[in-house]
Amino acid sequence: MKTTLHLLYGGKSAEHKVSLQTALAVTKALNKDKFNVFPLFITEEGQWVRGKQLTGEVESVAQLQLTDKGTSIAPLALTEVNEQTDDKPVIFPLLHGPNGEDGTVQGMLELLNLPYVGNGVLASSAGMDKVIMKQLFAQAGLPQVGYVHFLRSEWEKNDELAYKKVEEELGYPVFVKPANLGSSVGINKAKNREELASAFKEAFDFDRKIIVEQGLENAREIEIGVLGNDEPQCSVLGEIVPKKEFYDYKAKYEDGNTAMIIPAEVDEQTYESVKEMAIKAFKAIDASGLVRADFFLTRDGELYINEVNTMPGFTPYSMFPLLWQHTGVAYPELIERLVQLAKDRHDEKQ
Ligand code: ATP
Ligand code: MG
Ligand code: MG
Ligand code: MG
């Protein structure tokens, strides 16, 4: 029997465009003998549109076009979808960032009692908030760089105090990030007070809460894919080599000149440590389905966890699918595994 798969993409998020690219790639890769695919587009304003077809170029976000205007639906009309078919449809939220990767959509799908790919409510929201995530990682004993965090209201009341705290507790350089985002949107490196002030301002444009982290100089960036529910498995390691100061939005999606090295060249002990830490991180946020865990490896061999992404970049050229391809799980099979994991988790709850 064919599985009905609804691809939820776009989204009211600064990572909207990235999601379009992913949805096209997944549509193209799906085996039409096994899946009936329905695209569900969420506009940048948050309106839900049931479209007929997705077309465009997967390679470049800039070239993407949405050809089909589709029909507007209320999000809760997804339950109608449910009645159209005997087999329970599976929802694949190909959404990154707030309003998609953060547990909000997942909560709605729980209420509708529909199986969906990827992380549940708790893991999604804990993984989206870099401060909460770091607190859970600390509890699990995972090594991390020093950090402080601020609310916009605190900063507005006394910005000098905030900057002093950063300088006293961390020192330069630091990375300033919106607490709830991804794709490096709103992230800046600051090497002095002036840069710090402008980095705060930009990060607060995206979130009411920001995190400021001790900046590592010259560290290698190592990533790993984790796949599964109660017994997660790890992929081989990948390394990102940004040709710029850091792996920013442009380097990720526009310039295309960041090198990805898979498998990453690390010694056996480092590989084992990364795997062990990635599983700990997965469990620390109670993840299911998938995560991509990102690490820093300093030149003296120290390993720090940076973050996990509960819905990592998912085009065939993205790190997570490439890691699994090198581990022996090709892109179409990866999608099928994720759909199966979604069904398993759903069945277990019934
Ligand atoms: P994504 O979800 O797309 O992986 P993100 O928006 O969650 O990205 P981070 O992964 O936290 O952002 O940071 C983006 C990039 O900034 C990192 O890949 C790295 O290049 C650089 N970076 C972030 N934090 C630090 C740090 N503490 N020290 C050195 N470099 C950092
Ligand atoms: Mg992230
Ligand atoms: Mg992300
Ligand atoms: Mg990252």
Kindly state if the Cβ of 239 falls inside 6 Å of ligand 1.
Answer: no
pLDDT for the residue numbered 251: 80
Q: Edge to edge, what strands does the sheet with 3-10 contain?
A: 71-73, 48-50, 35-42, 3-10, 90-94
Q: Break the chain into its structural domains and give their ranges.
A: 3-117, 128-142+218-349, 147-214
Residue nearest to atom 7 of ligand 1 (CA): 182
Q: CB neighbours (10 Å) of residue 321?
A: 26
pLDDT digits (tens, 9 = 90+) for 109-141: 999 999 999 999 999 999 999 999 999 999 999
pLDDT confidence band for 60 (50 / 70 / 90): very low
Average model confidence (pLDDT) across the chain: 90
Q: Is the pLDDT of residue 65 over 60?
A: no
Mean pLDDT for the stretch of residues 179-200: 95
- Does ligand 1 lie within 6 Å of residue 183's CB atom? yes
Determine the Cα–Cα distance for residues 301 and 298; give it in Å rounded to an integer.
Answer: 5
Q: Rounded to an integer, what distance in angstroms lies between the CA atom of residue 10 and that of residue 41?
A: 6
CATH topology of domain 128-142+218-349: D-amino Acid Aminotransferase; Chain A, domain 1 (3.30.470)
Q: Ligand 4 mean position to 294 CA, how many Å?
A: 6
Neighbours of 327 (CB within 10 A): 17
Tokens of 68: 């089909």
Q: Span 311-330, mean pLDDT?
A: 94
pLDDT at 18: 82
How far, in Å, from the CA of 181 to the mean position of ligand 2?
7
Instruction: Extract the tokens encoding 246.
Output: 């850091």
Centroid of ligand 2 to alpha carbon of 79 (angstroms): 31
Other residues' Cβ atoms within 10 Å of the Cβ of residue 218: 7
User: For residue 63, what pLDDT is reported?
Assistant: 43
Q: How confident is the model at residue 61 (pLDDT cuts 50, 70, 90)?
A: very low
Q: Quick check: helix, strand or coil at residue 7?
A: strand
Across-strand partners of 35? 3
Cβ of residue 312 lying under 6 Å from some atom of ligand 1: no
Ligand 1 pocket residue status of 27, Cβ below 6 Å: no
Interval 229-242 mean pLDDT: 96
Q: How confident is the model at residue 68 (pLDDT cuts 50, 70, 90)?
A: low
Q: What's the DSSP call for residue 61?
A: G
**What is the model's pLDDT at position 83?**
54
Its CATH architecture, for the domain 147-214, is 2-Layer Sandwich (3.30)
- CB of residue 336 inside a 6 A radius of ligand 1: no
Decide if pLDDT at 248 tops 90. no
Q: Report the CATH number of the 3-117 domain.
A: 3.40.50.20
Tell whether the model's pLDDT for residue 306 goes beyond 50: yes
Q: Could you identify the atom of ligand 1 that is nearest to the CA of residue 96?
A: 2
Atom 15, ligand 1: residue with shortest CA distance: 247
CB 95 within 8 A of CB 8: yes
Q: Which atom of ligand 1 is nearest to the CA of 242?
A: 20
Ion ligand 4: residues, CB within 5 A, are 294
Q: Give me ligand 2 centre to Cα 69, in Å.
A: 31
Which residue's CA lies nearest to atom 21 of ligand 1? 246
Is 9 in contact with 39 (CB distance < 8 Å)? yes
Provide, rounded to the nearest whole percent, the portion of the chain with pLDDT above 70: 89
What DSSP string describes 200-245?
HHHHHHH-SEEEEEEPPSS-EEEEEEEEESSS-EEEEEEEEE-SSS
pLDDT digits (tens, 9 = 90+) for 142-162: 999 999 999 999 999 999 999
My answer on whether omega of the bond before 75 falls inside 30° of 0, hence cis, is no
Q: Is 175 touching ligand 1 by the criterion CB < 6 Å?
A: yes
User: Which atom belonging to ligand 1 lies closest to the Cα atom of 147?
Assistant: 27
DSSP E strands, 87-159: 90-94, 147-151
Which whole number is the average pLDDT over 170-178? 98
pLDDT at 55: 60
Report CA(294)–ligand 1 centroid distance (Å): 8
Mean predicted confidence (pLDDT) in 31-52 = 84
What's the pLDDT at 121?
A: 98
Q: What is the pLDDT of residues 69-89, one digit of tens each?
A: 566 777 666 656 545 555 679
Distance 200 CA to ligand 4 centre (A): 19
**Residue environment code for 29-43, b if the CB has 16+ CB neighbours within 10 A, otherwise e:** bbeeeebebbbbbbe
Q: Is the ipTM beyond the 0.90 threshold?
A: yes
Distance CA 244, CA 214 (A): 19
Is the pLDDT at 168 greater than 90? The verdict is: yes
Q: Which of 13, 132, 144, 187 most suits a substitution to test ligand 1, by most atoms within 8 Å of the C-beta?
A: 187
3-state secondary structure of 41: strand
Of 216-220, 303-307, 315-319, give the lowest mean pLDDT range: 315-319
C-beta of 120 in contact with ligand 1 (< 6 A)? no
Environment class of 312 (CB within 10 Å of its CB; exposed 0-12, middle 13-18, buried 19+): buried
The residues with which 49 forms a beta bridge, in sequence order, are: 41, 72
